[in-house]
Copies of this chain bind each other. A is one copy, B any other.
Amino acid sequence: MVASDNARQPRKDAVANRAHILDTAARVFAEEGVNVSMDALAKHAGIGSATLYRNFPNKDALLAALLAPHHERLATRRIAIERSDGDAGQKLQQWIDALGDWMLAFEGLPEPLREAWMTDTSALKPACDGLIATTEKFLDAAQRDGFSRPCLSGRDVFIGVMALAWASEQTTVGRTSRAVLSDMLRNGWAVG
């Protein structure tokens, strides 16, 4: 069942199997959103549920592992942003866009993120904390240079991005695109 390279069932290598789980989860999550049961996921992967739980003790841990490559991409973007020519305000905006992309990696991701951010014990917490810290950095610079309002914290902005991501999910039907929401997050609805 395990779709390793050699098309055999034996474990071949734990690494391969773990990769197989991650591949499957990435695909299923991408197709159906993160609201898939661990059991269903195991079935999709052709493995027993216990095997899934051995590799990832709960769904947050699985999500955290799944987000790792996205994290790397995010880190890359962060460096690119830092090295870019724009001012601190533009950089913050770019970072916010990158953050939003990360949060929309899978449908339904904002919800567990919100829970993780409150729960303190979730496997997603470290990722959130790190991203909040980075947001804080960009925000500080923007505030220092007068591009951002000083009353906000990185945490506030992070939450704002999360809410935006939550709202812009499955907006295929609607005319309200993510870009509009992003603009509203940046400039508000009020004039000047």
Spell out A's residues near B (CB within 8 Å): 89, 92-93, 114, 117-118, 120, 139, 146-149, 151-153, 155-157, 159-160, 162-164, 166-167, 169-171, 173-176, 180-181, 183-192
Asked whether A184 and B183 contact (CB < 8 A) given A163-B164, A174-B118, A191-B146, the answer is no
Which 8 A-B pairs rank lowest in CB-CB distance, beginning with the nearest?
A188-B188, A163-B163, A163-B167, A187-B188, A192-B192, A186-B188, A186-B190, A156-B176
Chain B positions within 8 Å of A118 at CB level: 170-171, 173-174
A contacts with B: majority SS: helix
Asked if A181 contacts B163 (CB within 8 A), the reply is: yes
Q: What are 11 A-B interface contacts by the 8 Å CB criterion?
A: A93-B190, A117-B174, A118-B173, A118-B174, A120-B173, A139-B189, A159-B174, A163-B166, A166-B167, A184-B185, A187-B190
The residue from B149, B153, B183, B191 contacting A191, defined by CB atoms under 8 A apart: B149
Residue of B nearest to A110 (CB): B166
Contact of A190 among B147, B176, B180, B191 (CB under 8 A): B147
Also in contact, A185 and B188, with CB within 8 A (given A162-B167, A173-B118): yes
The contact of A149 among B155, B164, B181, B189, by CB within 8 Å, is B189
Q: A114-B167, A192-B192 are in contact. Are A159 and B187 (CB under 8 A)?
A: no
Question: Which residues of the other chain, B, contact A156 by a CB distance below 8 angstroms?
Answer: 176, 180-181, 184
**Quick check: B173 and A152 within 8 Å, CB to CB?**
no
B176 adjacent to A153 (CB under 8 Å): yes
Task: With A166-B167, A174-B118 as known contacts, state yes or no: A152 contacts B190, CB within 8 Å.
Answer: no
What is the CB-to-nearest-CB distance from A133 to chain B, in angstroms, rounded to a whole number? 15
A89: chain B residues within 8 A (beta carbon) = 190-191
CB of B186 within 8 A of CB of A189, answer: yes
Which chain B positions have C-beta within 8 A of A169? 114
